[in-house]
Structure 1
Amino acid sequence: MLRKKQMENIHVCIGGDYPSISLGTKSRRTDYLFRVFNLSEIQEDSRIEYLKIGDTVVQTQKSKDERGCIYFYYEDHFIGTQILSEIVSDFFSVPIYRLSVTGDKNINDPRRAIDWIMSRQNSIGRCSMNSSEMSDEDLKRFLDGFIVTDELTLSMKTSDDFMKNLNLQTVLYGIPAIWRETPEDLSYKWSDGEDEPRYFDYFFEVRNLNGAVASIVADNGPNEFFSLYVWPDQNGQQYPLGPLVQ
Structure 2
Amino acid sequence: MSNIVDQYRITKEPYYRAVGDEVELYEAAYSVRMPMMLKGPTGCGKTRFVEYMAYKLNKPLITVACNEDMTASDLVGRFLLSAQGTEWQDGPLAIAARHGAICYLDEVVEARQDTTVVIHPLTDNRRVLPLEKKGELVNAHPDFQIVISYNPGYQSLMKDLKQSTKQRFGGLDFTYPEHAIETEIVAHESGVDADTAGKLVSIAERSRNLKGHGLDEGLSTRMLVYAGSLIAKGVAPLAACRVALVRPITDDPDMRDALDAAVTTFF
Normalised-by-shorter TM-score class: 0.3 to 0.5
| Structure number with larger C-alpha Rg | 1
Give the number of the structure whose residues are more often strand, by fraction.
1
Superposition TM-score, scaled by structure 1 size: 0.36
Ranked by relative contact order (alpha carbons within 8 Å, sequence separation 6 or more), the top structure is 2
Give the number of the structure whose residues are more often helix, by fraction.
2
